[in-house]
Amino acid sequence: MKISPSILDADFSQLGEELDSISGADRIHLDVMDGQYVPNLTLGAGILKKVKFPREIEAHLMVLNPENFIESFIALGCKTITFHIEATGIPRAISLLKKLKSRGVLAGITIDGFTDPDWISDEILSLADQILVMSVKSGFGGQKFMDAALLKVEDLRARGFTGEIEMDGGINLENASEVSKSGVDIAVVGSFLFKKDPKERGEIIRAFHVV
Ligand code: DX5
Ligand code: ZN
């Protein structure tokens, strides 16, 4: 399974070394929170553009109005941009997915920890390049994995979604194989990785690659 470390729990006082320690990852997950969609506030593109990322980056927009953020994250160089269906509803999600694709980025839609996958309509299923299934309630790192997320992935696969499925929240090496077996292609891992000694992280990333 591929791995996309979330830098939310990285040690920002030495971000360069932290990023070096995860250079074996498949891409880097940027958690963007606006303090409205979730009760937390994190990083905007203005700060992030000062950072040299060793791998491809993806933006997870936990914001009420993702339309306001996509240009700055496209300019930042994000290959994938994903936003929450709960923030936009279906019609806005459809037009935003089309807009992202027209701008040449991979268009992702996210369903939160307690959201029913039925919110992903057939049209969204056919448009999305990626579906991000949250295995926690968005907003914070270090939460407990929600097993119900695995059933959502199986449901999306059963509905014929063949694009990339990413899972995010509470993932570690204990639950990684069931996450992979459910049909997930790429795991977002934050606190499990960044709580470990930087010297151990390369080994941990390789362990995720073989599940
Ligand atoms: C939560 C974020 C996740 C989180 C993952 O809202 O979207 O990316 O930071 O961190 P862990 O792996 O600690 O749950
Ligand atoms: Zn995330």
Res 44: pLDDT: 96
CA of 125 to the centre of ligand 2 (A): 20
State the residue for tokens 């992030």.
Answer: 48
pLDDT tens-digit profile of 105-130?
A: 999 999 999 999 999 999 999 999 99
H helices within the chain, ranges in order? 15-20, 45-48, 70-76, 85-102, 122-127, 148-158, 176-181, 191-194, 201-209
Enclosing domain of residue 49: 2-209
* CB atoms inside a 10 Å sphere around CB 185: 15
171 lines ligand 1 (CB under 6 A): yes
- Structural tokens at position 151: 């059933």
For residues 203-211, average pLDDT: 98
The residue length of the chain stands at 211
Please state the domain count of the chain.
Answer: 1
- The ligand 1 atom nearest the CA atom of 38: 6
Res 4: pLDDT: 98
Whether the predicted model's global pTM rises above the 0.95 cut: yes
Question: Domain with 198 in it: what CATH number?
Answer: 3.20.20.70
- The ligand 1 atom nearest the CA atom of 6: 8
